[in-house]
C-alpha cells in the first residue's frame, strides 16, 4: 500500500477527483457531471445533493483506477461565490444559487450604494457582482423573507461538501473572499458588512487557513466514497486559488492566464493591493501571508474566452469538436496578424474586467467581402487575447511586473494561441501541462495540512510546463496599436449596448 493524497474539485459542471503521490505524481483522475438548472431566464441553480452524489462517483472511480492507494488526506477545491442556505436541521432550504446567476442586479446596486463603492473595495478588495454570495443573500432577504427567517447557516459550495464529509462547518480565506463579506486584510468576516446586510456572524462558518485540517471523514461519507473512516480533510481553497497552486504560480514575477470557457488573469501579491476604481478583484490566496509569501492575488476576469471560439465553431463547422478546433487553429495560423483589419469584441455575455459591464455585447468590426472563415477565427483569437491584455493593463497600472505568462486551459494546448498571447503581452509564455490543476492544488493543500510539505514549495516542484513560446517584438508593437483601436471600439459603442 502506498500513501496518496486525494483532491476533490467541485466545479461548475462536474466534480473532478485527482489521486497523487505525496511527491506530486498524478496517478489517476476521474470526474462526474451535473447540470445547471435555470427555472427562470436569469437564474442559475444546482441541487447540493447532486454535488455529493457526483463526488462519491468520482472518488470511487479514481480509487478503482489505483486500487492499492492509501489515502492519507483529502483536500477540497470549489467553484466560487455560490450560496447554500441551511435550516436548523442543516438541510438545504432551496437549490444552491451559483456564480452565473443574474437575479441580483438590483441587490448589487443596492449593496454598492449602501456600503459605498470605495468603502466596499477597501474592505473586500473587490466590487460586488451578481452571483456573489452577498448579493444572493440580499435577494433572498427581500424576495423570500419567510425562507430567510429559517436560515441557520450560509455556506459556499465546497464548504457544503465539507459538511457532508465531516459534519464540520468551516471555510477558508480564499473562498470566503469571493463571498464579498470578508475583511481582506484581517482574513475574517467583516462585522461592518454583516451588520449593514443583516447577517449574523453565527450564520457563517469559521474562517481557518487553507492548509489546516478542518475535520475527519465520518462513517456515512466514508461508506459513500469507499474510504476508511477518520481520514483528515484539509480546509482547502477556492478553485482559482487552488488552480494557482496547481499551476506553480506563487511568485509575483509570474502571471497566470487561463483561457477556458471564460478567462482569468491572476497575479500573486505579497500585500493587499486594491484597485480604488473596482476594475479588478483582490482576493486572499491559499497561502498564509508573511515572510515574502503571496497571501493575496489580483484577478481580472473575462466572461467569454473559449466560449467565443466555441460559438464560432458551432456556426461554421460540422466536424467533431476536437477536429474542428484543430482545423480552426490551422486556418487562423495562415491568416496574417490583424485578420485583415477585422476586430472582434468578445463580450457575448457582458464583461467583467475592466468594465464591469453586464450590458456589453460582442462586435465584429471592419468586415469586408475579402474576409474569410480564417479571418473570423483569427479575429476571435486576437479579440479574446486583447481582452485579456486589456485586463492586464489594470494589473500593470497597480504595480504588476511579471516576467512570464503561464498559460492554462484550452488555449494552452494550441501552439498558435500561445504565440498570439506571447506577441500581445510581449512576454514569454509557459504552457501549463499539469492536468486538473485545481484538484492538484487541493492535493497540495491536503499534504500541507498534514505537514508533509510546504504548500508554496510543493507548488513549485509539482508543476509541469511545456516548451516556452517567445514573443516577437514587431508583432507586439503591432498589437499595441490594435489594442488602442480595440479599447476605442468598446468606448464608442458602450452607450448603445443596453438598448
Rounded-to-integer distance, Cα 399 and Cα 380, Å: 29
Calculate ∠ Cα 321-325-327, nearest 5°: 115
Distance separating alpha carbons of residues 452 and 445, to the nearest angstrom: 10
List Cα–Cα distances, 431 to 149, 287, 404, in angstroms. Answer: 49, 23, 11
User: Residue 72 pairs with which residues in a beta bridge?
Assistant: none
The span from the first CA to the last CA of the chain, in angstroms, equals: 64
Distance CA 352, CA 166 (A): 36
Q: Other C-beta atoms within 10 Å of 414: how many?
A: 23
Catalytic residue among 159, 175, 239, 423: 239
Distance separating alpha carbons of residues 276 and 398, to the nearest angstrom: 10
Q: Which residues contact 439 (CB under 8 A, 6 or more apart)?
A: 7, 8, 9, 16, 17, 18, 29, 77, 242, 246
Q: What CA–CA distance (Å, rounded) separates 222 from 133?
A: 30
DSSP 323: H
What sign has the CA pseudo-torsion 175, 179, 184, 190?
A: negative
What is the rounded CA–CA span in Å between residue 415 and residue 212? 39
Residue 253 appears among annotated catalytic residues: no
Residue 494 parent element (H or E)? helix 473-497
Query: Please, are residues 165 and 231 in contact by the beta-carbon 8 Å criterion?
Result: no
Q: Annotate 353-419 with DSSP letters as a single string.
A: TTT-BTT---EEES--TT--HHHHHHHHHHHHHHHHHHHHHHHHHTT---SEEEEEEGGGG-HHHHH
**Strands 429-431, 404-409: pairing kind:** parallel
- The β-bridge partners of 3 are 70
Cα separation of 299 and 395, whole Å?
8
Catalytic positions, written as ranges:
239
Amino acid at each position: 500500500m502506498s500513501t496518496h493524497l486525494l483532491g476533490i474539485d467541485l466545479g461548475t459542471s462536474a466534480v473532478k477527483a485527482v489521486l497523487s503521490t505525496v511527491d506530486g505524481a498524478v496517478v489517476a483522475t476521474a470526474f462526474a457531471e451535473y447540470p445547471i438548472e435555470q427555472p427562470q431566464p436569469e437564474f442559475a441553480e444546482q441541487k447540493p445533493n447532486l454535488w455529493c452524489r457526483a463526488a462519491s462517483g468520482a472518488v470511487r472511480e479514481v480509487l478503482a483506477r489505483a486500487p492499492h492507494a492509501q489515502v492519507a488526506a483529502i483536500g477540497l477545491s470549489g467553484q466560487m461565490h455560490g450560496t447554500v442556505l441551511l435550516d436548523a436541521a442543516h438541510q438545504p432550504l432551496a437549490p444552491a444559487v451559483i456564480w452565473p446567476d443574474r437575479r441580483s442586479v438590483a441587490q448589487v446596486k443596492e449593496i454598492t450604494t449602501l456600503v459605498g463603492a470605495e468603502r466596499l473595495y477597501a474592505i473586500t478588495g473587490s466590487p460586488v457582482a451578481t452571483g456573489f454570495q452577498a448579493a444572493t443573500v440580499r435577494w433572498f432577504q427581500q424576495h423570500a423573507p419567510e425562507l430567510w427567517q429559517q436560515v441557520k447557516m450560509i455556506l459556499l459550495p465546497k464548504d457544503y461538501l465539507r459538511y457532508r464529509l465531516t459534519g464540520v462547518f468551516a471555510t477558508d480565506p480564499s473562498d470566503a473572499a469571493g463571498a464579498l463579506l470578508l475583511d481582506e486584510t484581517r482574513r475574517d468576516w467583516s462585522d461592518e458588512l454583516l451588520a449593514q446586510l443583516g447577517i449574523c456572524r453565527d450564520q457563517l462558518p469559521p474562517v481557518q487557513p487553507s492548509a489546516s485540517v478542518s475535520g475527519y471523514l465520518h462513517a456515512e461519507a466514508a461508506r459513500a466514497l469507499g474510504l476508511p473512516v477518520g481520514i483528515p480533510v484539509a480546509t482547502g481553497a477556492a478553485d482559482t486559488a487552488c488552480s494557482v497552486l496547481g499551476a506553480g504560480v506563487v511568485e509575483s514575477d509570474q502571471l497566470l492566464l487561463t483561457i477556458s470557457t471564460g478567462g482569468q488573469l491572476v497575479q500573486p501579491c505579497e500585500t493587499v493591493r486594491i484597485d480604488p476604481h473596482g476594475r479588478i478583484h483582490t482576493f486572499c490566496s491559499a497561502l498564509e501571508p508573511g515572510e515574502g509569501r503571496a497571501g493575496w492575488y489580483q484577478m481580472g476576469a473575462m466572461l467569454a474566452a473559449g466560449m467565443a471560439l466555441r460559438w464560432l465553431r458551432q456556426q461554421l463547422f460540422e466536424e467533431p469538436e476536437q477536429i474542428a478546433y484543430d482545423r480552426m487553429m490551422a486556418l487562423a495560423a495562415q491568416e496574417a496578424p490583424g485578420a485583415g483589419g477585422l476586430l472582434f469584441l468578445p463580450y457575448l455575455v457582458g464583461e467583467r474586467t475592466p468594465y464591469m459591464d453586464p450590458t456589453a455585447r460582442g462586435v465584429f468590426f471592419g468586415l469586408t467581402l475579402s474576409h474569410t472563415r480564417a479571418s473570423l477565427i483569427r479575429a476571435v483569437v486576437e479579440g479574446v487575447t486583447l481582452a485579456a491584455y486589456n485586463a492586464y493593463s489594470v494589473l500593470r497600472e497597480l504595480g504588476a511586473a511579471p516576467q512570464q505568462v503561464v498559460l492554462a486551459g484550452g488555449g494552452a494546448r494550441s501552439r498558435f494561441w500561445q504565440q498570439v498571447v506571447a506577441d500581445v503581452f510581449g512576454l514569454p509564455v509557459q504552457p501549463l501541462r499539469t492536468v486538473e490543476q485545481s484538484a492538484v492544488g487541493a492535493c497540495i493543500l491536503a499534504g500541507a495540512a498534514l505537514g508533509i510539505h510546504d504548500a508554496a514549495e510543493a507548488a513549485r516542484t509539482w508543476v509541469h510546463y511545456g516548451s516556452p513560446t517567445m514573443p516577437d517584438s514587431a508583432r507586439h508593437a503591432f498589437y499595441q496599436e490594435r489594442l488602442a483601436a480595440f479599447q476605442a471600439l468598446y468606448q464608442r459603442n458602450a452607450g448603445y449596448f443596453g438598448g
